[in-house]
Structure 1
């Protein structure tokens, strides 16, 4: 009689690597987005505030207010940590011998999620508190991409915490 070996493929680390890549891409697009808050004649991003006067847009830097600088720094730090996590997980996945770094990547991603969520909560609170717009406004797709990035970071961090090297042999 021959013994058959069965290998169970659990692609959690590959899915987590893909999630980190998507989170990084969403974060970059959110950082570069011109539309975080919009209204009829106003647009606010992380970098500049633009107002429309007689079909001509005039833009000013937003790096003069402390809460906008704080939001930008928090998101840039989260994006940098996400980039570092992506590189570490890509190297660990490709080489296959550095599996102990998956826990470090998970901790880094959890830290990036905390920074990103703090920035995404700070932004609307301080925006409404500063009363920049007295009229109707909406938080636009740039702000939404920031939340999407945080969700993918959290998903990747959870997937990196899963232990796939422990098998349920005792139950069979």
Structure 2
């Protein structure tokens, strides 16, 4: 004879929104590090300017911004407020994004729903600080540069790829904030149960 035996299997499904926010946070870290270490924020003929270093590549032309140099090469950044402020804001954005990303990762890992949402709430606030910091830096940099354009000694200036990468970081930060805010009141993890019937042989 055989008798049916019923077992219950629990399937756990994690929503992807917070996972994507966590990925966005990691992408922002990479982009901001690239932007901070690059000298391609501001470009012109024979001149490359970053947040910590600028490079002179042609001494046959007048050096921009009344800078004095005897040979070609890279030098520490000019002692100008907007360059230092932009660098400081980008570093602030990087540090706060790292903290927010770590908090998001902890929230994804923990199973306690109350603790999970506490981490998410803190992460979204900290990531919002990172977003505001990088946006202020991106707006301030070109505005302040335009004030010293008359000292540029060049007819053409353009913003380099590092400035664009920083805008990319801002876009991913915005996406991360939105994703962390989405569905914050609903369950992050779904539990689905299904019954499985097994036939077992009974010995007589």
Q: Would the TM-score normalized by the shorter structure come out above 0.5?
A: yes
**Secondary structure, counterpart of 1:50 in structure 2:** strand
The within-5 A match list for 1:19-168 is 19-53=24-58, 57-97=72-112, 98-99=115-116, 100-131=118-149, 132-133=151-152, 134-163=154-183, 166=186
Over the residues paired in the alignment, what is the CA RMSD in angstroms? 2.3
- Rounded to whole Å, the distance in 2 between the matches of 1:25 and 1:95 is 25
- Rounded to whole Å, the distance in 1 between the matches of 2:84 and 2:102 is 27
**Secondary structure, counterpart of 1:105 in structure 2:** helix
Runs of 4+ in 1 over 4 A off after TM superposition: 5-9
How far is 1:59 from its partner? 2.7
TM-score, normalised on structure 1?
0.86
How far is 1:165 from its partner? 5.1
Cα-to-partner distance string for 1:19-58 (whole Å, 9 max, x where unaligned): 1110111111111112011112110000122222359633
- Rounded to whole Å, the distance in 2 between the matches of 1:139 and 1:14 is 33
**Secondary structure, counterpart of 1:59 in structure 2:** strand
Give the match for residue 192 of structure 2.
none
Is contact 1:10–1:164 with CA below 8 Å preserved after alignment? no
How far is 1:159 from its partner? 0.4
How far is 1:7 from its partner? 7.0
Task: Report the count of equivalent residues.
Answer: 165
- Rounded to whole Å, the distance in 2 between the matches of 1:48 and 1:61 is 5
**Larger RCO: 1 or 2 (CA < 8 Å, sep 6+):** 2
- Rounded to whole Å, the distance in 2 between the matches of 1:164 and 1:74 is 29
Deviates more, 1:146-155 or 1:51-60: 51-60
TM-score, normalised on structure 2?
0.73
Is contact 2:56–2:74 with CA below 8 Å preserved after alignment? yes
